[in-house]
Structure 1
């Protein structure tokens, strides 16, 4: 039986008439956002709604697209009859998957050079991930400067502050970390690459590999018994 997080509902609320999607895990939430819905974070729940100000037929179109995308991703969706669809759109790996792959490279790195190579994709001065993020913040700030609402200039200034101060600090620290790792030229003492080869000098030919056994975890001593007065 599928896990409970694989079930979602997409329905029009009978009281508010809002199109609401409930349930799912973080991956499902990403699918809903890419379908055009807006997340609403509450104390005990995160659900998604259609953007404000849409006509009912446009809300139906978004909800139907969300149902199709969720089912393409393998989720079980219970929805209103008006949102039912047999469409299964082609799904592609999101851009974030490429960045997440860097974390996997670091988790499996066995030397400081390997870890530094992965961090370089983040910290490269011209075309690294953080440089691109800075460009995105700047472009979004420029977009808000011309929107015309009273709060838009404040949002633009906030975005530029994030790019110039917060992102700059993050980028500086990660660059320092990457450069320090590049200079160390050391294997990670807790990680090694197993070749699964038995050396010719090994007498026990039934051995699987020459890797040393993992260190045994020392058992914690039992708690001391509190001494009390004898009776």
Structure 2
């Protein structure tokens, strides 16, 4: 059965004439956002709309680009005829995939030292991910300071508050977690790496490695015979 989250519709609403994209999973939503759509989060669904103030031709170009990107990523897209395209642009790994790789390293870490090394990519004081995130928040705050509308100074103060308070708590706690792991020097149960080497003290040279044998699994007992089948 095909997954319904691989299907999307990109059309103009027949009542409001708004350009809307509906359906898809979180990866599709990221593609829509990179194409220029704005997410609208409701209680029972998340859909996407074009930014306000665009001319109709600009909306059409935005929709056509989104259709091309989604189909290139393997999604099934139904769309208005004006947005249909045979283009399949090349896709590249987004910046967030590098950060997600840290999570993969943690899932595969065989020792506390390996876990600490992975977390260092987040917590490094000068060029860690969290330090870079603080720079992004500060730069966004500075950007709002220069926009000139009444609400912009408030948004700038809010962003600096997030960097100074919430992000600082995350950096402090995660750095302490990383340091504790670095001091433990312990293997992670069940993730030891088998090298296949035989220790020099092993007398039985036919041994393959020093790993303990895997736990023996007993076969499941047969299901009980139904009462009506007994004789």
**Distance in 1 of aligned mates of 2:99 and 2:143:** 25
1:1-231 aligned at under 5 Å gives the runs: 2-195=2-195, 210-214=211-215
How many residues align structurally?
215
| TM-score, normalised relative to structure 2 | 0.87
**Distance in 1 of aligned mates of 2:183 and 2:173:** 16
Question: What residue ranges of structure 1 are gaps of 5+ in the alignment?
Answer: 217-231
Shift in alpha-carbon separation, 1:21–1:215, aligned structure 2, 3 A: farther
**Distance in 1 of aligned mates of 2:117 and 2:216:** 29
Asked if the contact 1:39–1:46 (Cα under 8 Å) also holds between the matched residues in 2, the reply is: yes
**Distance in 2 of aligned mates of 1:124 and 1:135:** 14
Give structure 1 regions of 4+ aligned residues with deviation exceeding 2 angstroms: 194-205, 207-216
| TM-score, normalised relative to structure 1 | 0.87
CA-CA distance at 1:134 after TM superposition:
0.2
Shift in alpha-carbon separation, 1:72–1:208, aligned structure 2, 3 A: farther
SS in 2 for 1:20: strand
Partner of 1:221: none
**Distance in 1 of aligned mates of 2:21 and 2:99:** 28
Asked if the contact 2:105–2:118 (Cα under 8 Å) also holds between the matched residues in 1, the reply is: yes
**Distance in 2 of aligned mates of 1:214 and 1:151:** 63
1:14-59: CA deviation from partner (whole Å, max 9, x where unpaired): 0110111111000000000000000011111111000011111100
**Distance in 2 of aligned mates of 1:215 and 1:123:** 42
SS in 1 for 2:105: helix
Q: Calculate the aligned-residue CA RMSD, in Å.
A: 2.1
1:159-178: CA deviation from partner (whole Å, max 9, x where unpaired): 00000010001000111111
SS in 1 for 2:192: coil
SS in 2 for 1:70: helix
Shift in alpha-carbon separation, 1:49–1:42, aligned structure 2, 3 A: same
CA-CA distance at 1:143 after TM superposition:
0.3
1:84-119: CA deviation from partner (whole Å, max 9, x where unpaired): 011111100000000000000001001011000000
SS in 1 for 2:20: strand
